[in-house]
Structures are given as structure tokens and as C-alpha cells.
Amino acid sequence: MNKDLEWFCFHVVTEGLLSQEDCRAVASAMAEADIEADVMTFAQAIIDNSLCADVDRLQQLLEMAIQEARTLGFPPRSVFDDDAAAP
């Protein structure tokens, strides 16, 4: 996964907007459909599939994730790692 997508998923799970399993399911569905999992497409898939009603907060987290990826590298943990405990 790329850094901005990792940060986006880190934040949506930490804030309780989506579960770790939701993020993994979206990523898996995108991979099965041979869709590149970039953060914009990922966020749109969340909205299109009605996984989160707070679109404004998703947009804020999306913008924040892109900035953090540029300046901080990867988040402290990945929701895609098997050993990552859900908050």
C-alpha cells in the first residue's frame, strides 16, 4: 500500500468511521477487480458503497493523509498488517 492510503485508513479506523475489516474488504475488492488502490479511488469506493455517511470528515482525513504521507512517511501501524490490533 502507498503511504497516503495507509494514513487514510489509519485515521478512518482510529476515528471509528470504518473498521479495520472494512478497510481490508475495500482493498481486497479493489485488488480482485484489478483496480489500483490509490487513496482517491479508495475513498470514493467507501462513499459509493455507503460504508461511511460522514463524507465531509472523509474528505478532511483524505487531505490530512496526503500531507502526512509527504512529511511523515508511513503511519505508526498499518490496518492491513495481520498483527495490527484494531483500536
Digit-coded pLDDT (tens) for 2-54: 999 999 999 999 999 999 999 999 999 999 999 988 999 999 999 999 999 99
Digit-coded pLDDT (tens) for 41-62: 999 999 999 999 999 999 999 9
Predicted model pTM: 0.89
Alpha-carbon distances of 53 from 17, 27, 43, 81, rounded to whole Å: 9, 19, 12, 26
What the block records as the C-alpha cell of 61 is: 482525513
Sequence letter at residue 5: L
Alpha-carbon distances of 52 from 3, 59, 70, 73, rounded to whole Å: 22, 11, 25, 26
Give residue 83's pLDDT band: very low, low, confident or very high (50, 70, 90).
low
